[in-house]
Amino acid sequence: MALHSGISTIFRVFTDKDEVLQACMTEAINPDHALRELASISLDEPLTARLVQAAEALRAHLERMGTVAAALYTSGHRRDRAAVGRPAPGGREASMKATLAAVAELIEPDRAALRLDPQQVAAVFLGLLFARTRPMDAELTPSDLVGVLLNGVCYPSEAAR
């Protein structure tokens, strides 16, 4: 009986199963939660700590999107390209711009110590982060990624300068 009550409640809001599944995917790709996580990172923390926290928040967002997309795919759900509720044109671009701006804001307090503009550093950071989501990169931690971004892959030496 409880299951029946829950299902009837859901279908007062959604017309069918596909609409429920589409709403799940729309919520999973919504960047608002990740942007709130980024905004909550204290600018008083060292740059390394801020970027590690940002990497963890964004990685969690990517994992949520991937989990929902995989669940929908394995369930046999195929989104109708003309479906109502489809993200607005330019939605992905707007999401990326907002994420880039949020990360650049985390970097801004250290502008004087950087060779690149905070926006450029944020773009490199996001490129590294998004490229490392493959399973073969599972051993590259957020701390490792930030270390490579800020210090490179070589140990400092006089010969390298």
Question: Lowest-pLDDT range, 58-62, 74-78, 120-124?
Answer: 74-78
Q: Residue ranges of the domains in the chain?
A: 2-79+89-151
Query: What is the distance between the alpha carbons of residues 9 and 90, in angstroms, rounded to a whole number?
Result: 33
The whole model's pTM is what?
A: 0.76
Burial class (CB in 10 A: 0-12, 13-18, 19+), 81: exposed
Residue 34, pLDDT > 80, answer yes
The structure tokens listed for 33 are 């939660």
Residue 37, pLDDT > 60, answer yes
Torsion region of 106: left, alpha or beta (phi above 0 gives left; psi -120 to 50 gives alpha): alpha
Please name which of 33, 25, 76 lies closest in space to residue 58, comparing C-alpha atoms.
33
**CA angle, residues 145, 149, 152, in degrees to nearest 5:** 105
Confidence of residue 86 (pLDDT cuts 50, 70, 90): low
Instruction: Note the pLDDT of residue 152.
Output: 87
Residue 76, pLDDT > 80, answer no
8 A C-beta contact, residue 47 and residue 147? no
DSSP secondary structure code for residue 16 in this structure = S
Over residues 40-53, the mean pLDDT reads 97
Residue 67, pLDDT > 80, answer yes
8 A C-beta contact, residue 58 and residue 34? yes
- Specify the CATH number for 2-79+89-151; select among 3.90.25.10, 1.10.240.10, 1.10.357.10, 3.30.70.100: 1.10.357.10
